[in-house]
Amino acid sequence: MPAPTAPTARRRRLGLELRRLREAAGLKLDQVAAELDLTTSTLSRIETGKAPCRTTYLTAMLGMYGITDPPQIQLLKDMAREGQRKGWWADYDDVLPTGFGIYVGLESVAASLRAYEAQVVHGLLQTQDYARAVFRACDRKASAEHIDRNAELRMKRQEVLTRPDHPLELWAILDEAVLRRPVGGPAIMRAQLGKLLQATEQPNVTVQILPLAQGAHTGLNGSFYLLDFPGDDPPTTYIDSPAGNIFLDKAHQVRRWAEAFDQLRAEAISPDGSRDLIAKLSTET
């Protein structure tokens, strides 16, 4: 698979390389941050790809790390420049929650996504009317225009499932309560269940339902996503909460959530059985 070229991916790759070079030079994060007159948290955001890196900072860092090879320096500078560009989702900055643009950027270049949803249908599988109903319920004070813009963004994100080259591999586990909660009313919910059924026919989409009869399970802490990337880019875990967006990149953190997803996958109804349940509920709604 070709290397991803979206700005978020470039920032992420640059950050990984800068962290590797810093550690190879035997320098700690706070040492480099102090030398650059940056806060440790700002430098950490650069190294994790959550913030762009200015060329002046990059030049100073490479000097501290003893990097003198011109082609290597030029490559890193090119990555920094590309990382400062805006992705298509920047057109929705007026409605994007703080930090969510980072997730959208990662999702746009991910090779696969494993997601557990406890409350609503996953965003990549929602109908536009269902998305509007969700946004309306979550923010009663939002204007109709704000809700429409958010729903439009959600539909735009879904293009990763049908992109011509290497569409995103999605494995979504939905709590059964998601199917039984009539978001937006019967008509909207019927259409939503119909879209779910259509999604299960896509070769790159797998849907499983976690039955209510399962009782207590490893997903009781709430929804979470696991993103895997092409090439050598390490995976990351994303958790969306009312308190903000959480990205977990350390290997032991990702492993913990991957194990939780595997447990949920084992506890959920099989993909074929899940499809039958969705079809059954669509006729009852």
Spell out the per-residue pLDDT of the chain, length 285, in tens. 334 456 777 888 898 889 989 999 999 999 999 999 999 999 998 998 888 899 999 999 999 999 999 988 998 998 888 888 888 888 998 898 877 888 998 899 899 999 999 999 999 999 999 999 999 999 999 999 999 999 999 999 999 999 998 999 999 999 999 999 999 999 999 999 999 999 999 999 999 999 999 999 999 999 999 999 987 788 999 998 777 788 888 899 999 999 999 999 999 999 999 999 999 999 998
Same domain, 124 and 219: yes
pLDDT at residue number 10: 80
Domain range for 154: 89-284
Same domain, 108 and 163: yes
Same domain, 262 and 237: yes
Same domain, 72 and 100: no
Positions of E strands within the chain: 112-117, 169-175, 205-210, 224-228, 236-241, 244-248
Structural domain includes residue 33:
yes
Same domain, 77 and 93: no
**Looking at the 3D structure of the chain, how many domains does it have?**
2
For the chain, how many residues are written? Answer: 285
Structural domain includes residue 2:
no
Same domain, 109 and 228: yes
| Contact call for residues 54 and 83 (beta carbons, < 8 A) | no
pLDDT at residue number 2: 39
Structure tokens at 135: 């946004």
pLDDT at residue number 87: 85
Same domain, 140 and 272: yes
pLDDT at residue number 4: 46
CATH number for the domain that contains residue 27: 1.10.260.40
186-220 burial code (b ≥16 CB/10 A, e <16): eebbbbbbebbeebbeeeebbbbbbbeeeeebbbe
Structural domain includes residue 257:
yes
pLDDT at residue number 244: 75
Q: What is the dihedral of CA 264, 157, 46, 231, to 10 degrees?
A: 70
Q: Of 83, 106, 125, which one is at a domain's C-terminal end? A: 83
How far is the C-alpha of 102 from the C-alpha of 88, rounded, in Å? Answer: 12
Same domain, 95 and 212: yes
pLDDT at residue number 6: 67
pLDDT at residue number 193: 98
